[in-house]
Amino acid sequence: MDISNIARKLDLSNNNLVVRKAAEIRRLCDAQFDSSIIGVGEICKAVICLEIAASRLQVIFDRQAAVKLSGMSEKAYTRSFNSLQNVIGFKIKLNIKELAIQFGCVRIIKSVQTILSSYKERFLASLPASRRANADFTRPVFTAAAFYLCAKKQKLKVDKLRLIEVCGTSESEFSCVSTSMTDLCFDCVGVSKEKKDAKDVKGNRELLDVLPGKRRLDDGGYSSDDESSCYKRHKKMEEAKYEDWKSTVVDSIKKNPEKGAKKVIQTSLSFSKKEETKELQVES
């Protein structure tokens, strides 16, 4: 499909500069690699080239319409966009101040800069001398990871997926850099999570003890096969009470047999043949 037709569907046909730039990017993609290898078809490639051209020329671009036109899901489109952009060598310049304004976290600008400088120093110190010259920290994923971890440290809400989309990276790469940055700069971005011991937690545990399915062991745990369960203990207590009552009644009868014995009145039944209805007569 001609790229101008796709531009018309995205309301970019009047901007000839964007269309020419997108056609140039498309020719560059065709010359460098086969886009079908990364699962990008011709229509999707044309849409992505239009978005790259629009972003570089600072022209408003409808991302939702582009995703719908490409025939892919939003996640798959973002992954294809990042892959295609990285392959042709178009790097996004990510500014910390613009990022902070966009996500409403202006107060963490200095903290992000400090984290980035500390990470660079510690990462280079961990590398052998022969590899330090090849280390590249200009990629926007490092700035995005430092921004996200710093916001998380200060309990500020940041849309992670949107941040990944803005920096033009993949989720796996973002996660890898975030993990590395957390390990090397835990004193700056680490969030300690202390897991409480179950034995030390005090809160309405008696409510669990009354349930038949919960079992308390000597070590503080629960087991469904324990014979010392509350349910069985309750049942044994009821049986013990019944046996005590029964033995008390039997003992009282043995001590006073006259009071315990009752006269049995024998009755007989007689039926009259002459009467149509049946009568019950009790002989005294």
pLDDT at 223: 47
Q: Which of 3, 6, 38 is nearest to 24 (CA)?
A: 3
Say how far apart CA 21 and CA 212 lie, in whole Å.
Answer: 73
pLDDT at 1: 61
Half-sphere exposure of 182 (CA within 13 A, CB side): 14
Give per-residue pLDDT as tens, 160-184: 888 887 777 778 888 999 999 998 8
Taking CA atoms, 38 is separated from 49, 60, 81, 161, in Å, by 15, 27, 11, 21
Give per-residue pLDDT as tens, 96-112: 888 888 888 889 999 99
Exposed / middle / buried, residue 247 (Cβ in 10 Å: 0-12, 13-18, 19+): exposed
Look-up of token digits 């009282």: 252
> Is the pLDDT assigned to residue 224 strictly greater than 60?
no
Cβ–Cβ < 8 Å for 4, 19: yes
* AA letter at 204: N
Say how far apart CA 234 and CA 237 lie, in whole Å.
Answer: 5
pLDDT at 150: 92
Which domains does the chain carry? 3-88 (1.10.472), 96-208 (1.10.472.10)
pLDDT at 52: 85
Out of 118-132, 212-226, 262-276, least confident range: 212-226
pTM value surpassing 0.75: no
Give per-residue pLDDT as tens, 118-151: 999 888 888 888 888 888 788 888 899 999 999 9
